[in-house]
Each structure stands twice: as structure tokens, then as C-alpha cells.
Amino acid sequence: MPNLFQKLESKSLIHTGIIIVPEVVDRKYYDKLYENQKDLDHPLWQQFNDTYNLKFQFIENMEQIQQGGTICVWFFKERPATKKIKKYKDLEINGHDISYQPNTVLLTNQKINFLENKSVLRRPCVQIDIESIHIQTRKTIKQMLERIL
């Protein structure tokens, strides 16, 4: 079975308790999922579900992420209507700014602070149930999050 976390490697641990995995799936595939984000019954989302066998929830605004324990979030950053967008910080974890980038997974066992961003109406993401991730990958994630940098 394919592993959504196949690009997870030691350098993905960017700070103690913070893992960032960019470009987790092929960009064209991600773009198609992005375009159908409002319809999780769409065949592409069904294919994603069948391929990766993960429990997940699509969240309209990342402020609605359920926190506690290990959090796994896949960012579905809104595409701006204009190129002239003021840069805002979106997330902060333990004093570290975390970039909200498309097709990127954030794994953390720390509290996420959401910062105001006036350049977008919403900040969608997919929250993945950590318990639905393959057990060996979960063990790797746990070990990485316990490392002190």
C-alpha cells in the first residue's frame, strides 16, 4: 500500500516537536484534489481514500484543527486571486513561524498558535487521524518528535 509519508526523513524534523514534509504527493494529483476539496465524495477523493487508507477530515479553516496529542495536518492553501498579497505569518509553534505551504504536511506534538491572516478568507487543510497511519510510520514520527534539537 502506498505511504503518504514516504518523503518523511530525518531532515523533516525542523525544530523539537515539529516535522514538515513538503510536496507529499505529485503536484498535479494534489491540484486535482484541491479543485475538488468541497466534494469528498468525488472519485479523486475516493481514490485517495482507497490508495492511502487514512482517516481524515477536511477542515475549512485551520483554526478548527483538533489539538492535543500528535497533530497531522496537510495544507490546502488557498490560491490567491491576485499576485499582490501581503505576506502574513500563519502559524507559530513554540516561538517558531511555520509556513503554510500547499501540499505540505505538518506533524507536531506541540500547541499550534494561529495568527491572523487578512489576505485570505479561509485556510483549508486536511487533518489526518494519526492512529490511521501505518504503525511503522507512526513509530518513526513518534521517535522524531521526541528528539531534542
Question: Region 77-88: what's the mean pLDDT?
Answer: 61
Give strand ranges (E) for the chain. 13-15, 18-21, 56-59, 71-75, 91-93, 96-98, 105-108, 113-114, 125-128
Torsion sign over Cα 134, 74, 128, 20: positive
Segment 109-140, tens digit of pLDDT: 999 999 877 667 788 999 999 999 999 999 99
pLDDT band at 82 (very low <50, low <70, confident <90, very high): low
Give me the residues paired with residue 21 across strands: 105
Q: pLDDT digit string (tens) for 83-111?
A: 555 555 689 999 999 988 899 999 999 99
How confident is the model at residue 2, as a pLDDT? 79
* Domain positions in the chain: 10-146
pTM over 0.85: yes
